[in-house]
Amino acid sequence: MKKLTSPNKSKKKLLGTIYVTPTWESLVPMFIDWIQDGNSEQHIDASENIMQMAKVSDAYRANEYKIKMHDELMLLLKSINNKGRLSPMHLPTIKELIKQESNNTRG
């Protein structure tokens, strides 16, 4: 993080803050380089960071799936409330929700 100050040296005035955080995408070429040509410390660091990226990606995808299932459940409940009964078209969604819930409770 670099703080910007005014060019006038006698009166230092904070102008703002620039956050310089690289993206995962911009770091991947460096990690590949480290794995191919780096020393053992770089191999370990690259491997740990790639694993962290994988975990973040998996968590994101799992959350996206939960959001999708929630949205489908809300549509299902709305349909039930409008019609007062379930129709056969609801069964695949219900089965998937039960399967997902069963997987979540197992750990």
pLDDT of residue 21: 86
pLDDT above 80 for 94: no
| pTM across the whole model | 0.52
> What is the distance in angstroms between the CA of the first residue and the CA of the last residue of the chain?
39
For residues 25 and 79, the model is more confident at: 25
Q: Kindly state the average pLDDT of the residues 12-28.
A: 82
How far apart (Å, rounded) are the C-alpha atoms in residues 46 and 49? 5
Helices (H), the chain: 24-37, 40-83, 91-106
The alpha carbons of the chain give a radius of gyration, in whole angstroms, of 25
